Chains A and B, each alone.
Chain A
Amino acid sequence: MVENRPLLSILAHIVLLLGVAIVALPVWITFVGASHEAERMLQTPIPMLPGDQFFVNLRQTLWGSGLEGTNTAPVWMMLMNSMVMALMIAIGKIAISLLSAFAIVYFKFPFRMGFFWMIFITLMLPVEVRILPTFEVIADLGMLNSYWGLTVPLIASATATFMFRQVFLTIPDEMLESARIDGAGPMRFFWDIVIPLSRTNIAALFVILFIYGWNQYLWPLLITTDTDMMTIVVSIKQMLEAAEQSPQWNIIMMTALLAMIPPIFVVIAMQKLFVQGLTETDK
């Protein structure tokens, strides 16, 4: 910084550490909750330091039948469902957005702008505002309780299409001309030149979309009535309800922890891509 004021720097570190502590507190308490026996969690004050039951709880949560008194699927199965859903949404969105952005940028064809605006409109129609009719469509198509029903309605994406369009526009025209002289057709150009040149953008977007997909709540809540299809994020709500009768907070907190870890891991492990993805998609 500009001037040398050690006191101010120390203050800065103190405030930041305090901020980190406040932000981390809920997760710390969750972690503590997940490391004690169920009985311990019923005595006030609840502990603020971790207990020794973490791995016992972990085993019971992952491979046990889940919470007593609920009809949730085993947690490992829900984790798998969440993983499949998140991957399908992320990959699906990227794939169809790459294709449509490529068509819109590199071809001149009738109704091009019409398609562009149609995709743009999806920005204005988040799933929350069209819940019921979309649910009806899925029901009519017989896609309830399936991975397709969970993911396909969410994979149209104006944001991703716009981002790729932006990226493609920065690829010099000479790349295309050079490829045409080299004899590359459109799809060959797409695979050999366009995809490799956009791969960091693809990776950055993947991080964002994986988190988006993993954290879906309202849609899976409606589409999956079958416990075998339940995702881990949705199951938390059921467990909270069951907690009224059967307060196994250690299992609930362990499940919550397991539901948080994959997306948090992705964010921290791919921080640079994550930041890039976030700032680019919102531009």
Chain B
Amino acid sequence: MLKRVHFPASLLPYLLVAPQVIITLIFFIWPASQAVYQSFLIEDAFGFSTEFVWFENFEYLLQDDHYRDSFGRTIFFSAAVAFLSMSFALILAGFADRVIRGSTTYRTLLIWPYAVAPVLAGALFLFMFNPTIGIFPYLLEMVGYDWNHYLNGRQAMFLVIIAAAWKQVAYNFLFYLAAMQSIPRSIIEAAAIDGAGPIRRFATIIFPLISPTTFFLLVINAVYAFFETFGIIHAVTQGGPANSTTTLVYKVYNDGFIGLDLGGSAAQSVILMFMVIVMTVIQFRFIEKRVQY
């Protein structure tokens, strides 16, 4: 935590932490407390009057079918993104760990989507799946399947999921490959001498040994799907059709900036904050474990 020796106390350390602390106070602590405060208010549409209503906004939210649907949808969306991108990355990492030469080359060829902004990932998939000119609707039509994610909510959800998963493959691949490469070769060799073939080795030795990484990635992917996919949804579906892709974060934005429902949006923010806190705690508890591992 602290050095055994340090400089004598003076005004200096306060000056050093000042920029960080001032920015934190103005742009983090103050807005967050405002969000908490506003979540107890109801404001009329013109902003003329506000009323302090305690937990009414929260009660309203929890009874609101739209909000509850959005909640379930977000969880489904996150789980699907995490599962899709993690399993794809795991397979690729498993093979990349096998090849003697070229695993770094494959790494280079696979990690760059990390650098693509979510909204751009959305734009790319939107282009490929554009009902009029996209390549995939064209191919699907040939086998008799009608694609139009502007009308079909399931198709819209599928599209944002694969766009979000595509971008995250890079990150998952990187961590899986690193985890596999850190397994001592002697363990794998011992398993080979015990007569375990490649598939069996992967299932019984490698996969259990990298389970801490799997758990870590699960949390990271959940956080990603919750908070960082706003751009994808905003670009591809704008939450539609008929709210079928409205995740919690998209709803906060939509209710606050488009619907101008201050109290409701603030109450949603507070709930999200609570969820971030839970995820952060999980993440940190996990890190303690990983240090021992």
Contact = CB atoms under 8 A, between A and B. Distances in A.
A1 B98 contact: yes
B171 interface: yes
A23 B169 contact: yes
A197 interface: no
Interface in B10-40: 10, 12-14, 16-17, 19-21, 23-32, 34-35, 38
A126 B249 CA distance: 11
Q: 8 closest Cβ contacts across the A-B interface?
A: A133-B31, A215-B117, A103-B16, A133-B34, A263-B115, A107-B13, A153-B27, A26-B124
Interface string A230-270: 00011011001000000101001100100110011011100
Interface in A11-58: 11-13, 15-16, 19-20, 23-27, 29-30, 33, 41-42, 44-46, 48
Contact of A20 (B2, B110, B114, B265): B110
Interface of B: 2-7, 9-10, 12-14, 16-17, 19-21, 23-32, 34-35, 38, 88, 91-92, 95-96, 98-100, 102, 106-121, 123-128, 132-135, 138, 166, 169-171, 174-175, 178, 188-189, 192, 198, 216, 220, 227, 230-231, 234-235, 249, 252-253, 256-257, 262, 265-266, 269, 272-273, 276-277, 280, 287
Contacts of A118: 21, 24-25, 29
A267 B88 contact: no
B100 to A, nearest CB: 6
A59 interface: no
Contacts of B234: 217-218, 221, 237
Contact of A30 (B21, B88, B99, B127): B127
Contacts of A106: 3, 6-7
Contact of B5 (A15, A155, A177, A266): A177
Q: Quick one: which of A153, A155, A156 has the most chain B CB within 10 A?
A: A156
A145 interface: no
9 contacts: A30-B127, A48-B135, A131-B256, A215-B115, A217-B231, A222-B257, A247-B133, A249-B133, A267-B112
Nearest to A190: B16
Given A3-B198, A26-B128, A132-B266, 15 more contacts: A11-B95, A15-B91, A19-B92, A26-B124, A44-B138, A99-B19, A128-B272, A137-B26, A156-B23, A186-B7, A240-B123, A263-B115, A264-B116, A266-B115, A268-B108
Contacts of B7: 106-107, 176, 186
A173 interface: yes
Query: Main SS of chain A's interface residues?
Result: helix
Contact of B230 (A3, A19, A173, A217): A217
A125 B28 CA distance: 7
A268 B119 contact: no
A9 interface: yes
Contacts of B9: 107-110
A279 B273 contact: no
Nearest to B192: A2
Contact of A124 (B10, B102, B113, B276): B276
B200 to A, nearest CB: 12
B106 to A, nearest CB: 5
Nearest to B226: A128
A252 B21 contact: no
A42 B230 contact: no
Interface string A73-107: 00000000000000000000001110110111111
Given A1-B98, A217-B119, A97 B20 contact: yes
Contact of A15 (B25, B95, B170): B95
A186 B12 contact: yes
B195 to A, nearest CB: 11
A150 B280 CA distance: 26
A9 B20 contact: no
A248 to B, nearest CB: 12
A123 B280 contact: yes
B139 to A, nearest CB: 8
Q: Quick one: which of B32, B174, B227, B266 has the most chain A CB within 10 A?
A: B32
Contacts of A155: 23
A176 B28 contact: no
A278 B171 contact: yes
Contacts of A199: none
A174 to B, nearest CB: 9
A247 B257 CA distance: 28
Given A42-B133, A108-B6, A283-B287, A256 B120 contact: yes
A134 interface: yes
Given A99-B20, A186-B7, A237-B234, A125 B273 contact: yes
Given A107-B13, A222-B257, A256-B120, A20 B21 contact: no
B13 A112 contact: yes
A29 B135 contact: yes
A153 to B, nearest CB: 4
A133 B27 CA distance: 9
B140 to A, nearest CB: 12
A25 to B, nearest CB: 8
Contacts of A126: 227, 276
Nearest to B95: A12
